[in-house]
Amino acid sequence: MSGTLTVVEPATEGVLEEIPRAGVEEVDAAVAAARAAFPGWRALAPGERAARLRSLVAAMEAEHESLSVLEARNAGKPIASARGEVGMAIETIRYYAAAPERLLGDTIPVAGGQAFTFREPLGVVGLITPWNFPLAIACWKLGPALAAGNTVVLKPAELTPLTALRFGALADAVLGPGIVNVVAGPGRTCGARLVEHPDVAKIAFTGSTEVGRSIAAGAAQTIKRVTLELGGKSPNVIFADADLELAAASVPGSVFDNAGQDCCARSRIFVQEPAVERFMELLERAVKSLRVGDPLDERTEMGPLISAAQRETVASFVPDGAPVAFRGSAPDGPGYWFPPTVLYPIAPDARAVREEIFGPVACVIPFADEADAIAMANDTIYGLSGSIWTGDGARALRVARAIDTGVLSINSNSSVRVTTPFGGFKQSGYGRELGPHALDAYTEVKSVYYATGARD
């Protein structure tokens, strides 16, 4: 063990917990435990594996409130948001608990016999998860990986490991030892070791595009399977014929949820020119009414940033003299607070428009017409999420088809569902999580030919 890991509470800057810090030796031991458990987990009858996953759901439901409070304190998110995210984690495991009995192959008629396919688990899978939605995103990966018959090593982010460790204890008790193994330590040691380990068959990573590039390069050395869910700079396209009141009211949830620390944050707000003045009036009202404060207060809608370093990074996008149209509030005193901020007018090539901020800062940019909106929305290296607001249904579908992004919503700021695929285009990554498509990333297709021709 490589010493201890100090877990800080973002709202108070105080120490929340001291935990053992994992290193390379702990990762190797976790991989060995997962490898030893794999044959038994894989060999379970599909109905038995499903039953154990349903028991895990029940154990999580019994801990729903305690997990929510722990997530709120560790990640600095409002308790209402934390409850929703833990609920989604539970729903994700429940959804994939139905999958073991539905992992079907194909039968294919061929000359001289019959061919059929099997969906086989990969083996030991390494899961590397971020600090912004700790338990929810971990379960996006855990659900399909376990349902398909793999065993896992989960490496949560250093800043927010506590709910992952609690989940690991529940999984040990319900599923059996070695099936889920949690290692809490630095990415540069634990994450890197998972990527290079010869007994790890796949890496599923959520995090920055920069780190994703290094993981893809490292995994190539052993030809590991990889799925990457990376950065985003998502557009929020608002046409003049949209319901402007509803669109403006949705912005705090689409940009400032989780204090803007969300790869789906729709932080580039494109507004059609005739509607800009009215939209800005409505948006100012919505932003200034946002309640920012103690994560455990039931009324809180936005909490602090995750760390002092993250606050410093976000502040660098709003230097003195930045075109701040208006800001919301933020508490004084301890805590990594930053007020929700809207920049306007701002040039389309400004750093705040081009780069992922990962904080509560949004940019408003006018556009002329549909073609202009599409061109501006696509003018980015990213392609993860986004919204389109219009009263014209045909236009909504045209624009949705034309924007290069993996997940879109129309007249809504919500784009993530347990039952639908999630993932990005371009440098926002590859592969899909959630929905039935996620299972493909945790299995290999085996084709078997059975000769049935007559013999002499």
Active site residues: 229, 263
Cα 267 from Cα 361, distance rounded (Å)? 7
Phi, psi of 434 (to 5 degrees): 70, 165
Coil, strand or helix at 454: coil
Write out the two tokens for 251: 């912005």
Rounded to the nearest 10 degrees, the angle between the axes of helix 370-378 and helix 393-402 is 30
Spell out where 309-390 has E strands.
324-327, 341-343, 361-367, 382-383, 387-389
Q: How many angstroms separate the Cα of 422 from the Cα of each of 44, 98, 157?
A: 29, 19, 21
Tokens of 443: 């299995």
Side by side, the strands of the sheet bearing 180-182 are: 180-182, 151-155, 124-128, 202-206, 225-229, 429-430
Q: Please answer whether residues 184 and 22 qualify as being in contact, where contact means their C-beta atoms are separated by less than 8 angstroms.
A: yes
Contacts of 58 (CB under 8 A, 6+ apart): none
User: What are the Cα distances from residue 140, in Å, to 37, 91, 157, 204?
Assistant: 21, 10, 15, 10
- How would DSSP label each residue in 106-146? -EEEETTEEEEEEEEE-SEEEEE--SSSHHHHHHHHHHHHH
